[in-house]
Amino acid sequence: MVAEKRKNGKENGLNPKGVEMAKCLSCGERKGNRFCVALSGSICSLCCGTKREKEISCSPACDYLSKGKDYQLDREITKRINADLHGESEDVFQMDEVTDFVAPLEKFFIDEFYRNRDMNDTRLYEALAKIYAFRTGILPVLEGRNKTEEMIFLKFKELNRKASSLSDSLKTRGILRMISSIRASSGGVLGNRNYLEMIFSQQTGKGKWANLFEKLEKEE
């Protein structure tokens, strides 16, 4: 009943407290449902999304601006990863020099995050996607937005320096291959920690996938 009243209130241009919302300061047509720091008043979500940093001189402190940029960046990164994965004609994990580069990073994931039950594959994926975006020029700088990203980026920079003999192209493709592994092994019925479980079994011979990897090794 309460939810229905709130829904009806929104449809009638009322805020959650039942007070009528003012018109959008930008278009003057729709109800203003977002406070705009730059205009010192409420604007509609359409004007906020289509006019930000174009017709409206947005404040860097605006939360809607920050979230909008993050959303667009995530879309751009995903589009680039999808295109580049489609263009891969060979598995770079068949190259010893590439596996030697990524294996320490996967070991780092196990050592630092496997015992943390709050950690999941999505957070690893997001960090690797940002590394890939940085290496392909989409991101100008590599800065972590949380402690997990900061730790992963610092480790990657360390491994990048140590693998000075490996070409930048193969390093980038190695990161892309890790992203592909997470996509293929995580989510759905497999759960959102299956990639972590998989690399744990690969590197330790223990865990839920240990028997499978032991069988695969015998068949080789």
Residue 93, pLDDT > 50, answer yes
Question: Which of 61, 83, 107 is a domain's end point?
Answer: 61
Which residues face 43 on adjacent strands? 34
| 10: exposed, middle or buried (Cβ count in 10 Å: 0-12, 13-18, 19+) | middle
Question: Which of 38, 61, 84 is a domain's end point?
Answer: 61
Let me know whether 30 and 137 are in one domain.
no
Residue 207 lies in a domain: yes
Residue 145 lies in a domain: yes
Let me know whether 49 and 106 are in one domain.
no
**Separation in Å, CA 150 to CA 52, 70, 142, 144:** 29, 17, 9, 5
Q: Mind listing the pLDDT tens digit for each residue in 34-83?
A: 999 999 999 999 999 999 999 999 998 899 998 898 888 888 888 888 89
Residue 174 lies in a domain: yes
Residue 7, pLDDT > 80, answer no
Q: How many C-beta neighbours within 10 Å does residue 159 have?
A: 18
Do 19 and 12 touch, CB atoms closer than 8 A?
Answer: no
Q: State residue 2's pLDDT score.
A: 43
Please state whether 187 falls in left (phi above 0), alpha (psi between -120 and 50) or beta: left
Domain span including residue 112: 73-219
pTM score over 0.85: no
Let me know whether 111 and 132 are in one domain.
yes
Q: State residue 215's pLDDT score.
A: 67
